[in-house]
Chain A
Amino acid sequence: MRTTGRGTRAARSRWRPAMTAVAAFVLLVVVWELVKLVVPDDGVSIAGTRVLPRTSDAAMPHVWTVLGRLSDPEVAGAAQQRSIGAAVLSGALFTLRLSLGGLLLGGVLGVLLAVVMQRSGLLERALLPYVVASQTVPLIAIAPLVAGWGGKIAVFGQPWQPWASVMVIAAYLAFFPIAVGMLRGLTSPRTADVELFGALACGWWTTLVRLRLPASVPYLIPSARLAAAAAVIGAIVAEISTGTRGGIGRLIIEYAQAATGDPARVYTAILGAAVLGLVAAWAVGLLDLALRRYQGVAR
């Protein structure tokens, strides 16, 4: 039977990525420790140029040191004890919320832009160059600009919050792949399909909802993956360049400043950022799963 065949395949394909992910992590740990074991503390230099990095505990802490650091208190002897792990977790959650918010905001903006550009060739020619140009402007230049909105504008009576700047910047990076991918998807139906909808006396809206949007799902999903990654990077960089507190970006900066004394600490923040990216990718995986039936045979 076709259905049962597909069922077991689906079950297998659901577990295989998880197993692969665990195996990849174990491999990474093994390679890390192996490099530490084999390469001398001072790295390897050929004719005065270092070709392999230092592997001293200051440059490359042991994996267990990094993991162990998670349970250490963030500030030694402080009245309110919080472990580094808890700090990283709360920072990652903060940034995750802003990333996903940015992804959602950018996604809506990207889809709307794509729909507008599909609707009108004139608007496509007018808008597309700016859409592309928007991504060549350095984030570092835009971040202070957006952060400067604080105190100058209010949304629905609420004053502009620093976290809103971070979300807007994440959205700024996320909308681009979505807009480009969706535009490609919306124009993907064959002429014959579009004509069929014409023959069925469907207006633009019905054709959009019943033909163009479903047909663009196979293009949306890879775009959304790119956008999710871009939103996470955007949020972290935005936190750093706007000096927003509470997120993993700020934590990376704070811990990096302490890197000479406590090298393992900065790795805990990097670990948090990596896990954050994985969770964001997983969120897109949920979207993928929800829209599975539209991902039929690509034509």
Chain B
Amino acid sequence: MTSGTELLPAPRGGTGTDGRRFGALRLFGGKAKGSEEAAKRVQFSSPYLPYLFLAPQLAIIFVFFYWPSIQAIQSSFYLEDPFGFGSTFVGMTNYTDVLKSGEYLGIARFTAIFTTLVTFFALSIGLLLAVKADGVIRGNATYKTLLIWVYAIAPPVAGLIGMMFFDQHIGPIVELARWFGWDIKVGLNYFDTAFSMIVVSVWKQIPYNFIFFLSGLQGIPVAVREAAAMDCRSGFRRFWTVILPLLAPTAFFLLIINVTYALFDTFGVIDVMVKDKAANNPITLVYKVYMDGFRGNDLGGSSAQSVILMLIVFVLTIFQFRFIERRVHYN
């Protein structure tokens, strides 16, 4: 052939439903499928043609991701005038101010707890429901629809509905808790607010995890399950030794998605719960960025925080790929 440039086609993902994202992740992890994909390589006559095809995607990534990131890094070294009249270079001051602040560290600690709990419960409940739905033979379409349905709700609306669950006067969960002698006061009591924030965030994410786990479960060959049924009497043991390992690629993908969700996408839920409430409420780092930047008009400090957040996510993602993906078996 001519000395053309080679370009890999979009890799296919493991679960099928959201193959594109999954595939991209896998590529990120450096796991090309070797010979199988090499066979599908496309030859281009001009070495620039592939870049031309990639240009729209790259442009979008640059405009919406790299450029704001560069802006944030830049303004994190400046003290901005709240009214936009000018800015002063202050070096690392914004960073040292943030990292010295006890309030910021408290929020960071809460964010860590919040992210861990939301990820853990959203994943485990999603998995539990998927396993149960997978076992249902009759009327499973109805069952699945009912579980997936919640996912169609926009985050602020979910926050609102969640808020209504925890409403002081009409909230059914508040009433239930009162029945057990627990007086939930969302927006007033730190623990109660944190509790309801976690519950609503988990509730919102379960359907998403459910869909993926269910499709992952249904991707496990029936014969393998049957072979396991003949090799192992205990269904519980079978789940841990055969089903779960085969579900690991899905679970790993969901782990990353859920951590990202808990860190960033819960913004809407938190906003609805703590907005216009008394000050001593639990918030996460991303909400703090918003508060300082847009409420406090401290653009420099807010930028410094978002850069820190960026670094945290960066480190976390590398950690996940380095140490957890190793234990994942791709088919």
A, B from the same assembly: no
